[in-house]
Structure 1
Amino acid sequence: MRPSLLLILIFITNIVFAQGKITGKIVDATTNAPVDYATVGLFAQGSKQPVSGITSDDKGNFTLTNINNGEYHITVNFIGYKEYGADHVIISDDQKAVTLGTIKLIPASKQLNEVTVTAKAPVIENMIDKMVYNTANDLTSQGGVALDVLKKVPQVSVDIDGNVELQGNTSVRFLINGKPSTMFGSSLNDVLASLPASQIKSIEVITSPGAKYDAQGLGGIINIILKNDKLRGISGSVTASAGTRLQNGSETVSVRRNNFGVSAFLSGNAQINTRTMNLNDRTSTDASGRSTRLIQNGYSDVRRKSYNSGINVDWSPSKANSFTASLTVDQFGNRNQGMTAQQQTATGLADVLSQRTSLSDLSNHNIDWSLDHKHKFKREGQELEILYTYSQGKNNSSYDQQQIYNGQLLPFSASASTNPGTNHETNISADYTQPIAKDVLLETGAKTILQNINSVTNVNSYDAKTGAYSYDPGQSYKLKYDRKIYAGYVSLGASPFKQIDVKAGLRIEHTNTHIGFPGTTIPSYTTAVPTAVISHKFSDVSSLKVSYTKRIERAEYRELNPFVNLSDPYNIITGNPLLRPEIGNVFELGYNRSFRSSGSLYIALFSRHNSNDVKTYTNFYSQYRVGDSVYRNVSVTNRQNIGTEQNTGLNISGSVYLSKKLNIRTNTSIIDKYIVNKVYGGPSVNALIVRGNMNVSYQFTNDLIGEAFANYNSPMKNIQGRTPKFVTYNLAFRKQLMNKMASIGFTTTNPFAKYVDQLTTIDHAATSNGAPYTSYSLRRVPYRSFGISFAYRFGKLDAKASKIEEPQVKPIEN
């Protein structure tokens, strides 16, 4: 409990410090449209070293907080605009709060053939409700994919298979540009392994979402923001990378004139064929006491490819109204082909030697489109937003497998299956914001989510007697799944005392589900989701927050789909349409400290309790029936509601500048996980998990920078055995060219080791039928890679200067 005591001491010793705040709103002087992500700098008057800084939000608003008494100079910068400056801004005991009003940025008055980026956001921004990771200077992820970026994000960890955890929980709600997409429900790992890092502008992490957010996502929300230039005129970028494992390419273009803008992007990604070596040694005992041992030794070749494209249109016909429309098209897939030598030994029987060949395919085609309308009333802060989004996914998975006894020409067992499906989701929401008093803000809204899933499984089984395949009605089936969610919320934010902000809300969600699958019904249910956060700002460099939220995790398409994957008939994988939603209660205590220009530190203590906890579980069966076919000595893996889980942990993330050229960032989590298995009578599990990484960058010259990144995931005990540790490291360099409009980079991952070995053991695991088994599995995953990348940014501005009224500095009445 020492970290908690430390935070309390910090609270007591800092509470007497004087502090103030400076607020403002940044708009385009010509169109009055908000300018988001503009850089605001705070300097002591006469100093060239910044005291603090922040970027404006999507409405152009900003608040500089925790400011000591003194005289300051304010700067505002954004690409394509003249710099704004305000001198002699005073914070004193008599004037703790200053507003700069509406700051109208004047467009550059001359045409530019090239755009040079001079202002940039910090790599990590810690806000009251979220943490933002800006990817612009992430060198070791250049030429990589979204998974490579996520490894750097505070409080996030990624294992070797691309499974993402947020504060130790894998049930994370993923959004793209703040909107849901059906592509995440099909195969999350494949989506994140297919999205080029060059397309990502930033990643937002929300561990304690407020009442306005959907309750879905037990661990919290990760919002991936794609690049979308707000530069006036014509601008864009082109990136390309090639390597021994990955190849990426992307381009963006943006055209903006007056109050109308259009931006588009196109990207592609391919993972070159990689071979993973597999060894599995499993011993099981049936009810009669007979022991069977199965040894499988082989390989699997995996290829992956994708493309992403989209267009975004925004229009502000007046100061009060703005419209945004977007359309994206995504397609991704993978192909897994392998061969395995098999040896099966049973008590009192001769060894059976065979070979198995398998082929699995997965493809997904997804279309998302949305329309957003924002209306601002005359009263400052009063706003209505209506959002409509529609997402359509077409999924298809298939397999083909054959088993042949050694020395034979024809298979003794074989099957092939196709599983086409569709996933449609419609979201309609209305959100209203109303200031009801000084420093009191009311938010309310309603939302409807309509989801429809259809899946068909067609199985063809091989008849060894006739040597032919035929349709198997016993293993073939259809699934129809309809889910409707109706939600409403109310939230109230206030500042009842100086330097203390409070925000509390309640969200109600009613879920109605109908499933067309034999013998399956799902009752409707209503969930109340309270949220609360209290924050205290000690000074211009430190703050503390305490938050609570309730979350829910509803199963996605990939977990519900009962498709039986028999590509390995000894190790069957399937879905579970009977999964019940998980419920989580999350408490978090966070302390943020800025060391001005030398770095920052964030410490979070969190506790998370889950009921109806869902885990991937493997059962062993001496005989397992699928339709009219019986499979012997097989393991069956799916997701199941196990019981409860309690996670208590500490996360420390921060950065420090040891010199003007040397920067170090780190992110470390220590989590105590306690799982109670209430289904199969297995023992409760208590495990300590350590996740950590370190990033070191060095600016050799004005246009040459190098970076090193190392990541460590500790081994972990779980409800069935023990999963292995995971260690990777990356090195990268980037050289800027053409007056910093272009760059060339080099990246390597694990250059001194071709494979990362993953050893998983299961010792006397309890199963549903009471037949324990032991298992030893070794995977040798190829992870070494080398790559080069090239990026070029272009822009041509066509902006006209206009007469602008200079904003006035107005004190806020206390």
Structure 2
Amino acid sequence: MSFAQMKWITTLLLALVSTIVSAQNKGKITGKIIDANSKAAIDYATVSIYQQGSEKPSGGTISDDKGNFTLDKLADGQYRVVVNFIGYQAYTAGPFNIKQSTVNAGSISLHSSSKQLGAVTVTAKTPIIENKIDKMVYNAANDITSQGGVALDVLKKVPQVSVDIDGNVELQGIASVRFLINGKPSTMFGSSLADVLASLPASQIKSIEVITSSGAKYDAQGLGGIINIILKDNKVRGINGTVNLSAGTRMNNGSANLNVRSTNFGISAFFSGNAQVNTRTLNLNDRTSTDASGRNTRLVQDGYSDFKRGGYESGINFDWSLSKMDNITGSLGYDHFNNQNSGLTSQSQQTNGLVGVTSQRNSLSKFNANSYDWSLDYKHKFKTDGQELELLYNSSFGKNNSAYNQSQVYSGQANPFSASSSSNPGTDKETNISIDYTHPLSKDVVFETGAKTVLQYINSTAAVNAYNANTNLYAFDPNQSYSLKYDRKIYAGYISLGFTAFHFFDIKAGGRLEHTDTHIDFPGTLIPSYNTWVPTAVISHKLSTTSTLKISYTKRVERAEYREINPFINLSDPYNITTGNPLLKPEIGNVFELGYNKSFEAGGNLYIALFSRHNTNDVKTYTNFYSEYRVGDSVYRNVSVTNRQNIGTEQNTGISISGSVPFSKKLNLRTNTTVTDKYIVNKVYGGPSVNAVVVRTNLNLTFQLSETFVAEAFGNYNSPLKNIQGRTPKFMTYNFAVRKQFMGKKASLGFTTTNPFAKYVDQLTTITQAATTNGLPYTSYNLRRVPYQSFGVSLSWRFGKLDFKKDNEQDNMAKPIDN
């Protein structure tokens, strides 16, 4: 970090601290929202506060996942609290007399509405974006114009997240992100993250949580932080569900959900599928290289590739309240993803400017993955409010297969001069077992502790068949084939303490110790075990009922995923080889963040975060050039080899601004902008250090034409990036969407278009590399013309009956549970 950057951050920090010190109001009202009959906590209940005698709320909040709420920064006076939640009667508590102290409203019991409802649709008032002390929540279910897309379309709108044209996701400018589904890991993310995110329909997503300041309870995995995708569920009694369908020129998807819930038991099932129709990308690669003897070679490859993708997800979940204190949830899921890329390329190679040889390459690469996930979660609540024990078992098993075949033919020849094919089946199994315990030591102090074991086993085998030009036959090549066994065990324990200091600061601090033990069965590889100590701390202060300031620190680690360590050598393009790296070391990051959150009475919000990240063992995709490259007993000439490597260190300093501005009741503008200063030091190849400024920004304009008709415009821009080997391209996309609700808002019809005025998005990448100990100098110019234009329509339908029984009926139904 430069002196100017430190001075800028320090100045802003002092200004914000000065604002804190000037705040004098210390009154606070706390409480917990529960169901009057089951005594279960009610999350996301709306809590509003009114000064006595006023009909206009002076602030408010939403209960957390344990039903707790806090109304802070209150001046002296009398207040009443009003609680609302879907399907329950409104409740008014108070008046409470505030005299610069904390008032505990206790447990507020909500009774279900006494009316028997027929087939109805209830729409929550939850805002699209919620800022919380440890995470930011994007409520995708309320973003109705995104329902016809996929998870990547939703992620583009999530604050602090950016997505490039190939589906690569960054969080605050960092690509190493830990993805979870419903708070649990899955092997499907390790095998092909882009395929999962491009195949998961947006209509299946309830919300997306972004956690950049994770506490000690969370795994340390993921340098940028954690993105948790919450799938839709329904905790309202009755039988109900949704059906979503969309069709377009580029993508088709659909999903169906069914929920059945009685008083204490609920079960839900879902199925969703996605297919990206065949799209043709145009490719031009112009590369100049120099070999050890000084000969210059120019290779020009001009062609196209046809790409298509498909996948589906399915699952069944249950929720069983054994008693008022005991709850069991479980899930079982199956997912499938696949893609195929076929291409035809004309090749021309010249040496020292002389007329060269021309050839044609046919290539085909395929990938498919199947994943099974199952989990069982038990929670026990004690008599003391907030005291809780949770046991979780989660396991995932994935079967993957990568394959390719390619052949090269000289112009005018019938038979290939070079060809090969390969199949790479593999398995990835991961099991997580954890125990977490929460114990309130007092009303303002909460202690948490727990332990976790992660067991991961990877098995991969590659069978290569090489072409013999003399016999015109393919034969198994044992020298290029291999097998890999990878066994990783992580043992972790943590402690955490949350408390209020001086009636002024809310502090949550803790530490996590992770021991990683890795065994690998692959020639020339040995990975020693290591310990990682992960301290975390979040200090926050409510400037008022609508604004909060926080500062946080955490340590993160990035362990390589399956796709990064798999040593499978992809020779679908023998001039540009890609492979994995089993020797990747874990990348370590130290993350500081200073954040300010402000909510406005009109419904708008603003979040500003200053962040600084320092990464060691920095992992980057790196390309080396070789005049001769040996794979087994085969030699490939004038080739580039690309894989992931530990390069050195990287410092990221920046600012992230996200907000929502309601210009009127009908017009709303949301923005998400991140500006990052990157400083990368290449310690391995002796290359120059790189300093670059990267801008990621988007704008989302929503216009409510009527109560049932909404229109939206969305624009997304990523600036180009100078890196250690050249420059990655910029890109800009834009979307327009409209959606009309009908049948009493039980159904809706939408239209969406992406880049309607341009068929292609051009992606120009340059690589410049000086001579190194591992490779020779070369320059590469690569232009991809990606077809991104699309038009589509989508249909959504909600069905079923929401059953709110009378209180006496619920009491009768609940009695057997307690016996």
Residue 46 to residue 392, structure 1, CA distance change in 2 (3 Å): farther
Tell me, yes or no, if the aligned pair for 2:89 and 2:112 is still in contact at 8 Å.
no
Q: Distance in 2 between matches of 1:149 and 1:718?
A: 28
Q: Which residue matches 1:163?
A: 168
Residue of structure 2 in register with 1:9 after alignment: 15
Q: Residue in 1 aligned with 2:259?
A: 254
- 1:781 corresponds, among 783, 786, 793, to 786
CA contact (8 A) 1:39 1:119 kept: no
* Cα contact 2:114–2:806 (8 A) shared by 1: yes
Equivalent pairs, count: 804
Cα deviation code 1:745-783 (max 9, x no counterpart): 111111111110001112344544351111110000011
Determine the structure 2 residue equivalent to 1:178.
183
CA distance, structure 1, for counterparts of residue 73 and residue 377 of structure 2 = 34
Question: Residue 492 and residue 804 in structure 1: after superposition, are their counterparts in 2 closer, same or farther (change >3 A)?
Answer: farther
Q: Deviations over 1:98-135 (max 9, x none)?
A: 33322333223333222332432111111111111111
Corresponding position of 2:219: 214
Equivalence for 2:71: 64
Please report how far the alpha carbon of residue 600 of structure 1 lies from its aligned counterpart in structure 2 after TM superposition.
Answer: 1.4
Pairing partner for 1:416 from 416, 421, 431: 421
* Number of the residue aligned with 2:207: 202
Q: Aligned to 2:310, which of 305, 309, 312?
A: 305
- 1:82 pairs, out of 70, 85, 88, with 88
Q: Within the alignment, does 1:119 sit opposite 2:135 as a pair?
A: no
Distance, in Å, in 2 between the alignment partners of 1:277 and 1:586 is: 40
Aligned partner of 2:372 among 360, 367, 381: 367
Q: C-alpha distance in 2, partners of 1:29/1:365?
A: 43
The one of 592, 598, 601 aligned to 1:596? 601
Whether 2:692 is the aligned partner of 1:687: answer yes
Letter matched to residue 202 of structure 1? S
AA partner of residue 728 (structure 2): T
Q: CA deviation at 1:138?
A: 2.1
Range moving further from structure 2, 139-148 or 551-560: 139-148
Alpha-carbon offset, residue 631 of structure 1: 0.2
After superposition, where does 1:425-464 map in structure 2 within 5 Å? 425-464=430-469
Structure 1 residues 13, 448: closer, same or farther in 2, change over 3 A? closer
Letter in 2 for 1:9: A
- Tell me if the contact between 1:610 and 1:646 (Cα under 8 Å) persists in the aligned partners: yes
Give the residue type in structure 1 aligned to 2:64: D
Give the alignment of 1:587-666 within 5 angstroms: 587-666=592-671
Name the amino acid aligned to 1:367. Y
One-letter amino acid matched to 1:316: S
Q: Match for residue 43 of structure 2?
A: 36
Specify the alignment match of 1:263 in structure 2.
268
Q: Conserved in 2, the CA contact under 8 Å of 1:601 and 1:653?
A: yes
Equivalences for residues 670-749 of structure 1 within 5 A: 670-749=675-754
Please provide the CA RMSD for this pair: 1.8
Counterpart of 1:92 in structure 2 is: 98
Query: Hey, what does 2:31 align to over in structure 1?
Result: 24
1:569-588 equivalences under 5 Å are 569-588=574-593
Which residue matches 1:324? Answer: 329
For 1:517, the equivalent position in structure 2 comes to 522
Structure 2 unmatched runs, 5+: 1-6, 811-819
What is the TM-score of this pair, normalised by structure 2? 0.95
- CA separation in 2, counterparts of 1:137 and 1:518? 52
Shift in CA distance, 44/729, structure 1 to aligned 2, threshold 3 Å: farther
Note the C-alpha offset of 1:54: 3.3
TM-score for the superposition, normalised by structure 1 = 0.96
In structure 1, C-alpha distance between the alignment counterparts of 2:743 and 2:11, rounded to whole Å: 53
* Alignment match, 2:817: none
Q: Report the secondary structure of 1:473's partner residue.
A: coil
Aligned to 1:811: none
Are residues 71 and 754 of structure 1, via their aligned partners in 2, closer, same or farther at CA, if it must alter by over 3 Å? farther
1:668 aligns with 673
Once structures 1 and 2 are overlaid, which stretch shifts more, 42-51 or 448-457? 42-51
The SS at the match of 1:575 is coil
Indicate conservation of the 8 Å contact 1:720/1:765, yes or no.
Answer: no
1:561 and 2:570 matched: no
Task: Tell me the amino acid that sits aligned with residue 8 of structure 1.
Answer: L
AA partner of residue 93 (structure 1): K
Cα deviations by residue, 1:223-265 (Å, 9 ceiling, x for unpaired) = 0000011111112111111111111100111111111111111
* Change in 2 beyond 3 A, CA 1:35/1:294: same
Structure 2 residue aligned with 1:478: 483
- 1:50–1:596 contact (8 Å) kept in structure 2: no
Contact 1:51 1:597 in 2 (8 A): no
* Structure 1 CA distance for aligned equivalents of residues 494 and 526 of structure 2: 29
CA contact (8 A) 1:50 1:597 kept: no
2:241 aligned with 1:225, yes or no?
A: no
Deviation at 1:84, TM superposition (A): 1.8
Instruction: Give secondary structure in 1 for the equivalent of 2:744.
Output: coil
Contact 2:127/2:142 (<8 A) preserved = no
Higher mean displacement: 325-334 or 435-444: 435-444
Tell me which residue corresponds to 2:138: 133
Tell which has more relative contact order, 1 or 2 (C-alpha 8 A, sep 6+): 1
Q: Cα offset for 1:521?
A: 0.8
Aligned partner of 1:191 in structure 2 is 196
- CA distance 1:240–1:505, shift in 2 (3 Å): same
**Structure 1 residue runs without a partner (length 5+):** 806-814
Q: Check conservation: 2:624, 2:775, Cα contact below 8 A.
A: no
Distance 1:589 1:129 in 2: 12
| Counterpart residue type for residue 175 of structure 2 | T
Q: Residue by residue, what CA displacement relative to the aligned partner does 1:197-221 show, whole Å, maximum 9, x if unpaired?
A: 1111111011021111011111111
The CA deviation string for residues 680-709 of structure 1, in whole angstroms up to 9 with x for no partner, is 111110000011111111111111111111
Q: Quote the residue 2:155 is aligned against.
A: 150
Partner of 1:808: none
Give the counterpart letter for 1:713 in structure 2. Answer: N
